[in-house]
Amino acid sequence: MFRQQVNELDWGHAMAQSRPSVQGVGRSLLSTLRMYVRRPSKLPQSTDLYQHRVTLLDGGELDLASLRGRPTLIVNTASKCGFTPQYEGLQRLHERFSDRGLQVLGSPSADFADQEYDDADEIGAFCQQNYGVSFPLTERTSVRADPSPLWSDLARQPNSGPPAWNFTKYLVDADGRLIKRWSTRTKPEDPEIVSAIQAALPG
């Protein structure tokens, strides 16, 4: 698993794309590397991911059961990463398919090299002002270091795994079952993702 994730990410490319602050870089990278050693146990069969509740960036709660009947693209995001412009593609997917039932859900996280703001207002302002993000975001969440219940379950699904870096993408079907996971370097509007979304949309 460790070798697969390192190959998937390409560390040289990822760090060239990153913009961490100079202070604390060594500590952040060491913490990130330690996460790759831990391997979550796999579930024998897929489970219902819509059984979870998450806290949103504005402090409200989203019961994922309310999304049942619609597919959801769940993505771990970060504001200070070289891949942060992928917010643009996620917003376009939201605008293109939300009327047909797609939900996009972002989870800001600092797990990878501490590339997220601490304050919820800062995160929200950054995403709205720079990328016009209008899809829901959770509160700042651990997605791998000490993953929330949702992110723990996403990683443990058959044919899945934990995020290898920011902007790992998970498409969940209308019944709450994982369809597929895509790596950071697969852009949101990649034809494979768009085709999978279209196939998952209700009638």
CATH number at residue 57: 3.40.30.10
The pLDDT of residue 11 is: 45
For residue 82, pLDDT over 70 is answered with yes
The pLDDT of residue 22 is: 46
The pLDDT of residue 45 is: 92
The single residue of 54, 57, 64, 81 carrying the catalytic annotation is 81
DSSP assignments along 61-75, one per residue? EEEGGGGTTS-EEEE
- Give the Cα separation of 3 and 8 in Å (integer): 8
- Give the Cα separation of 101 and 183 in Å (integer): 23
Summarize pLDDT for 145-155 with one digit per residue, the tens: 999 999 999 99
Known catalytic residue: 127? no
The pLDDT of residue 59 is: 97
Structurally, the chain folds into a number of domains equal to 1
Rounded mean pLDDT of 7-20? Answer: 51
**pLDDT category, 93, cuts 50, 70, 90?**
very high
Summarize pLDDT for 16-61 with one digit per residue, the tens: 455 544 445 555 667 667 776 767 788 889 999 999 999 999 999 9
DSSP assignments along 79-139, one per residue? SSSTTTTHHHHHHHHHHHHGGGT-EEEEEE--TTTT-S-SSHHHHHHHHHHHH---S-BBS
**pLDDT category, 164, cuts 50, 70, 90?**
very high
**pLDDT category, 172, cuts 50, 70, 90?**
very high
Domain of 94?
Answer: 2-200
The pLDDT of residue 95 is: 98
